[in-house]
Structure 1
């Protein structure tokens, strides 16, 4: 598995990853809401100066990506066929070590992602309106309850023990 900065050549794959991941874990979203999110994601968050995006590559295939702004993790989808294989943890560990991420956002109804982030040391800080896609669903703003360094060490220790 390799993590690298995303380029415009990755955007089509990233949109497909988003659509497949969101369709799987956010069953409450309608098809039209997902399509709207795909459009907004490309227009507002890819290739903008304030947002950095990285892709995860396995066997020369993009299987996940993240977008960050300052110390905020905005999006972190992984292809569902790669769930449970440690890719999400590897990506977040990379962000802890290289970008001091301390904030993340998940839909309040997305229990899968909420469980993932709380296991890494995040806690719910606030429930807010959707600041990304302007839809009717609330978001949990998550804050890291430990330092990014401690969180990265927690992931490394978990990986060693498994």
Structure 2
């Protein structure tokens, strides 16, 4: 990752970067048809989460909003910067604070599924009609049964 990228943590209850995160999410939604949350749902969930952010030259380029139990509500990386290790770094930051990490991903979101599989997440189950628009999801887990600490350490060496 480039040295001109700064990281910060937005604590629960804060609005820091919420508008920028919404804009990044919407950009991804328009391009890829994923991350389809409504504004009120997104902003409320964001404010209740711990949010790990990466910022370059004042612009939010990636974030992970995480609940206290290690569930990733939102993970987004600017499409122009994918493949640069930002998503991997965000998951590694979440792993520093949690024994297990879980999330949902659309069954049709091949990019996300490949990303999570590469990190060692396992599909635990499929949930039909999970999303508001009727889309199906996989529930994914990285954690104690797959050695999260070792996996993230290995991941960061790559």
Instruction: Output the TM-score relative to the length of structure 2.
Output: 0.82
- Please identify runs of 4+ aligned residues in structure 1 that moved more than 6 A: none
Matches within 5 A, 1:3-152: 3-6=7-10, 7-26=14-33, 34=36, 37-43=38-44, 45-48=45-48, 51-69=49-67, 70-129=69-128, 134-144=132-142, 146-152=146-152
Separation in structure 1 between the aligned mates of residue 105 and residue 38 of structure 2, nearest angstrom: 14
Contact 1:2 1:56 survives alignment (8 Å)? yes
SS in 2 for 1:46: helix
SS in 2 for 1:105: strand
Distance 1:60 1:100, change over 3 A: farther
Separation in structure 2 between the aligned mates of residue 151 and residue 23 of structure 1, nearest angstrom: 33
**How many residues are aligned here?**
148
RMSD value, Cα: 2.1
Q: What do the CA deviations read for 1:17-69 (whole angstroms, capped 9, x no partner)? A: 1111233333xx6xxx94x53342113x0212xx3222211233211111111
Q: Which runs of 5+ in 1 are unaligned?
A: none
Contact 1:123 1:142 survives alignment (8 Å)? yes
1 or 2, which has the higher helix percentage?
A: 1
Contact 2:124 2:141 survives alignment (8 Å)? yes
Distance 1:82 1:124, change over 3 A: same
1:130 Cα shift?
5.7
1:134 Cα shift?
2.4
Contact 1:19 1:38 survives alignment (8 Å)? no
Contact 1:25 1:112 survives alignment (8 Å)? no
Distance 1:82 1:115, change over 3 A: same
Instruction: Output the TM-score relative to the length of structure 1.
Output: 0.80
1:135 Cα shift?
2.5
